Amino acid sequence: MNDIVRCPNCGQANRLPSDPGKKAVCGKCKTPLTGGGHPIELTDANFAETIRSGAFLVDFWAAWCGPCRMIAPVIEEMAASRTDVRFAKLNVDQNPRSAQAYRAMSIPLLVLFKDGVEKGRVVGAVPRTQIEAAIRQYLG
């Protein structure tokens, strides 16, 4: 893995380590770039640039959505423990352009991306095992 990713905290471009066991941190502000952290907050302004490089699972959600609140802790746990996939969240009410572009008609919606290209989706508050299976299937 030799991807370049922007730090969600300061915006600095960073090269991810080729050793998947090595923890990736921002060279400028030391914020964790993968695993050990929280999902990146996406907006209409940063969506395309953020997911452009590497493997991502993006959670399309809304504050009023009960199933979204049910799945949120699972996404948080996975973001803290996995280093092979980066996790991000997009509030569909605050970011309607991205929600519309990815046809987020039912939420929660988990969309899996590899180098900016959509590879698969999971709709609904599903168990962690189903999310893990989708990551294996679509992001290998």
Give the residue numbers annotated as catalytic, written as ranges.
Answer: 65, 68
Burial of residue 79, with CB atoms counted within 10 A of its CB: 0-12 exposed, 13-18 middle, 19 or more buried:
buried
Taking a C-beta distance cutoff of 8 angstroms, is the pair 33, 62 a contact? no
Taking a C-beta distance cutoff of 8 angstroms, is the pair 50, 58 a contact? no
CA angle at 47 for the pair 126 and 102, rounded to the nearest 5°: 55
Distance CA 108, CA 123 (A): 6
Which of 5, 15, 11 minimizes the C-alpha distance to 113? 5
